[in-house]
A and B are shown apart, each in its own frame.
Chain A
Amino acid sequence: AQSVAQPEDQVNVAEGNPLTVKCTYSVSGNPYLFWYVQYPNRGLQFLLKYITGDNLVKGSYGFEAEFNKSQTSFHLKKPSALVSDSALYFCAVRLDAGNNRKLIWGLGTSLAVNP
């Protein structure tokens, strides 16, 4: 069965330190991978996506993610965390086949950046 796992419910990091939010997936076929962020009292926002090409994808707000096919992972990273990065982060995957654009979602990881 297709699935996305975010193994950490919460990640805590000090401001200025690098951050990683983990995501692994299990799908058949070639996945399209996404990261979204939900700030408190705001709608979800698209951060970045991997479709094909370079395994390292750069997105909004200085975030990047690396697609690792052998480890079936798509971890989100940022070299230097900001307090304003504190939010709920969701990893999602879509199969590349057909017209079904439904996304499979991870359970989310709450990121807390401490000043």
Chain B
Amino acid sequence: GAVVSQHPSWVICKSGTSVKIECRSLDFQATTMFWYRQFPKQSLMLMATSNEGSKATYEQGVEKDKFLINHASLTLSTLTVTSAHPEDSSFYICSAPRNIGEQFFGPGTRLTVL
């Protein structure tokens, strides 16, 4: 099956710093990627839709200036958490759809903000 990678798999940072998370589709091109946030034992919360060549579409309640998304190419989307705070600590997951709606997920990035 298709493979989506994320880097880093985990990151610890100080409050106030920015963290960049990369999402790559390794064997297919993805004009769209999705960024999710998952809290422990809870569902996925869609944060934004990353669109190659255009601006990301953010879900209601998600601060676009805090969670910067750049879809630089057909295989790479990045999520930058700016001025991170402890409440931003979470598990961030990206996905890329292929075929009819089927999405392939990255393994996730565990962010801990001290």
Contacts and interface: CB of A to CB of B under 8 A. Distances in A.
B61 interface: no
Contact of B97 (A36, A42, A88, A101): A101
* Dominant SS among interface residues on chain B: strand
B67 interface: no
A102 B106 contact: no
Contacts of B49: 102
B105 A49 contact: no
B8 interface: no
B101 A108 contact: no
B13 to A, nearest CB: 21
A88 B44 CA distance: 11
A20 B42 CA distance: 20
B43 A34 contact: no
Interface in A87-115: 88, 90, 94, 101-103, 105-108, 110
B102 A107 contact: no
Contacts of A88: 41
Nearest to B49: A102
Contacts of B100: 32, 49, 51
Contacts of A46: 1, 102-104
B101 A43 contact: no
Interface in B1-27: 1, 4
7 contacts: A36-B103, A43-B93, A94-B101, A101-B101, A107-B43, A108-B42, A108-B43
